[in-house]
Structure 1
Amino acid sequence: MDDTTVPAPAPQRPRLSASALASVLLGGLLFFSWFWISITIFFTGLGSLPALGTGLLLLIPWFLVMQVIVRIERRRAVAVHRISVILPPSRRSRHGGIRGWLSDRWFEFCTGAFWRGVLHHHLAMLAAGAFFTLFLGVVWLGWTSADVALREGPLHVGSLELSRWMLGVISLSCLVLAGLALVLGALADRGLARVLVSGSEEDLRVQLAELVERRQGAVDAASQERLRIERDLHDGVQPRLVNLAMTLGIAKNAISTDPDRAADLVGQAHSEAKAVMTDLRQLARGIHPAVLTDRGLDAALSALAARSRIPVELRVDLSGGQGARLDREREAVAYFLVSEALTNIAKHSEAERAAVTVTQTRDALQVRIEDDGRGGAQVHRDGLSTGLAGLTDRVRATGGRLEVSSPAGGGTVLVAVLPLPVQAAVAPTPAALRPDAQEALR
């Protein structure tokens, strides 16, 4: 669960709402119950640490519960008080499974934002408990005054006589004070949230550093893609176009002197032109394949698996998006990740089979590619073998992470996790109408 960003509604003028007043009542109830339970567990666990670390049996569950509560408090600050919550990007584990989950919990535990959230949770309950107690006191006093005025009439307090009219005024005053206690409690809760939850300039600086890193990943990925396109054009299409032009030039000179040879050369040029068109289509497919735009990620990956030189077991589950299509950027990154990985497997791994698993959840898209080859794959940035480096840059540009596990002789496993934005899903793009240039070459 990555809580790097907490969506906030459009900026509005802060105002007290019924939900803010209700939060004071709920916080008061928690103060008389959960507040004391939490404090007792924490300090008992700390006191028991010297006894062979037995206090961890209390502290570890307390920490896990606090991480959930801190997330709830952040969302409550956004929903109730309309406070923009700015959090630094959380460090993520490079491992999967239970090991990765435990690492993520530890990284979150070590952040200042988590401990500010814990402090806010308990101070908010303490403040709400104080104002809730005041609320209960004045409500009881007002209710008692109204009851005495209606049942017994004037009340004698020593030498002072309180008439029914005075008791009614006291009752109404207590009602106003009770409302004022809730308002003051809501204001205190908002103030605590602004100080402890909304974030600081340091959080902004950390978030800016993360955005700069993502931008650099996008720049590096674009540079790698540009070099690949230049290489394919220079080594593939350009020589064939030069050969085509020379063939047509020879045919032009031979039209008047040797028509039969000129016709044969034109036929060769026609075949070469069709081959160049095939190369250009392959190059365009490498930039952004038409099937990905027209039919989506599932169909595009199926086409990749069908063209692979080694058997590929493909499993795609995009049901986590509730039927909505992924955004163009995530689709492209996932497609090129699988495409480059299958190309590397076919060229270098000596594998007999490969497996690709793509799973979409509410928060992320996970792509897993594995093979049974010789392993030993590494990320190089030496300008010679940069395939995995380019994939790492593509994934990094989305704010995700790429894990590479490739022991010698044990195959290679690539796991990419691409976080999805709040509204990552878009409507399917209709197929574009493209003129068929091949008809002119037939």
Structure 2
Amino acid sequence: MATEYGQGYAHRSERHHRLPAALRAPVEARSWREFGYVLLGLPIAIVLFTWTVTTVSLGAGLLVTFLGIPVLAAALAGCRGFGVLERARARGLLGVEVADPEPLRVAKPGALAWMGAMLKSGASWRHALYTLVQFPWAVFSFSVAVSFWTCGWALLTYPLWFWVFPAYAGEGGIQLYGDAHHSVYLDNPFEITVTALIGLVFTLATPWLVRALTTVDGLLVRGLLGPSRLSARVVELESDRGAVVDTAAADLRRIERDLHDGAQARLVALAMDLGLAKEKLREDPRAAARMVEEAHGEVKTALQELRDLARGIHPAVLTDRGLDAALSAVASRCTVPVRVEVDLPARPTPAIEGIAYFTVSELLQNVSKHSGARTASVDVWRSEDRLMLQVSDDGVGGADVSRGSGLAGLAARLDAVDGVLVVDSPAGGPTRVIAELPWRG
């Protein structure tokens, strides 16, 4: 059904856009929105430029007194307020989505702390720089866009209004040349037709010219009114740190739960059984021997649970023999046959190696529980400075990271170390999951 819907939408789009893009551009809503952006740009730029130059100059002149600091802070606050307007204008007319800049980091409440934070904020000064840079650009883009737009439409529609000249101006048409002895007017059918064709060329070219001008506007808005790369990276690292902390806490809770419900409970029962066996040792040696034999089996089970738990924390085979052997051990415990191929020139750092191991382990658990696959494969290789992992199966497919499943948590953990998780799992299969990790040898 999804395919049919997509095909139907494509057919409707083709019917709607039978004209080439170059011919329909002058009448498209997008072109008129971009032209409106340029028209609004000049008066807004005048206001912004006037505000910044006036207030910053006044504040700088008053720095010899204490009054300069609050004036400068108010100037920058006004620039940030204008930045909200400009981001909204770019979003509404150009479709340019720009995130808000980093907020002020005010150390403590109070006017002095707020003014200090405003003056120290790089985003505030970038907003002020935008008002200064955007003004000359707005003058240029307004002049070019309005000149080309009005000239193009005026010449294109000249056959409709050329009669105004002989009727009301006493001239044959638009005057191309004139002196005391000779004048040239666009007044015969051939000249009128050529004028309209020239207007058509201008009309068709103007939307693309305006689009190029507004592209520069979009770059200015993104570069000066959005968050800086450094602040965006800080936010990303803070988010990644939160994901790492949450993952570590979840792992600790899992280990605690496994110990409490598994090995610890089994060892408590074992201690009680041995106590009973000790009491029966003199009265009923055979029953005590049976109880000791059962306790011996419980000891083996508890040891196996402890080994499994230790393997879940960090398997010894990974430390001793690397990813190839460790992943082969994981594949052997999978419910479907798994082919493992590891082609690495060297071993990455233990941290990356551990993340790669647990990533493949969790993906193979998904294969066992949810895929309904008959076979699966694991491929590991290095591509430049990235460690690549691929887990494929021939199951029913339908895996989706956006559903908030275990894949979403796995993607968050990989993102915390600058990794990437890509899932390709159409309904009906097959499923292919690719994980990228930074190579740190």
TM-score range relative to shorter protein: 0.3 to 0.5
- Tell me which structure has the larger Cα radius of gyration: 2
- Normalising by the residue count of structure 2, what TM-score does the alignment of the two structures yield? 0.47
More helix by share: 2
User: Which of structures 1 and 2 has the larger relative contact order (alpha carbons within 8 angstroms, sep 6+)?
Assistant: 1
